[in-house]
Amino acid sequence: MSYPIPLTPVPASTQRWRRAFPGEPIQARAARRFTATLLDGCPQLDEVLLAVDELVVNALRHTKSGQPGGAFTVEITRWDGTVTVAVTDEGGSSEPVATDAGDDAESGRGLRTVSLIAACWGWFGNDRSRTVTALFGAVLSEAA
């Protein structure tokens, strides 16, 4: 037997921003600046900026967003002490996974880092488009 997931109304205090960026490595810095400007004074700012960087770099390295003419979108949502960061890319052949890269590995730690600093993270999509989201600052409770 399944039960529907209850929908909760979005608080009136919710702020949401979205910006598209060209799929070029220099745009990771622009995405961090965009986020830092919006979240000035946010207690989790350092962690959020690290997550933005990791998610954008993953989009550029592992999806069609990093190919010539590619693009990605960053969406920041903020409400009641909670922040979510979502990066939407142009899809790729592999699924986002948090792995334990070896000590000598030069890459492979991005989503593992996000999983350690965020309250939770997840993704949805396919080989044409996907969104990876990290949530910060929320107290998560288990369903009864």
> Can you state the angle between helices 110-117 and 45-62, rounded to 10 degrees?
150
pLDDT(138) > 70: no
Distance CA 19, CA 109 (A): 25
Distance CA 50, CA 105 (A): 19
List, for residues 54-90, the tens digit of each pLDDT value.
Answer: 999 999 999 999 999 999 999 999 988 899 999 999 9
Which residues does 115 contact at the CB level (< 8 Å), separation at least 6? Answer: 98, 121
Report which of residues 23 and 143 the model is more confident about: 23
Q: What is the pTM of this model?
A: 0.84
Strand stretches in 4-107, DSSP E: 15-22, 71-79, 82-89
Q: What is the pLDDT of residue 105?
A: 46
Do the Cβ atoms of 48 and 85 come closer than 8 Å?
Answer: yes
Q: What are the structural domains of the chain?
A: 15-136 (3.30.565.10)
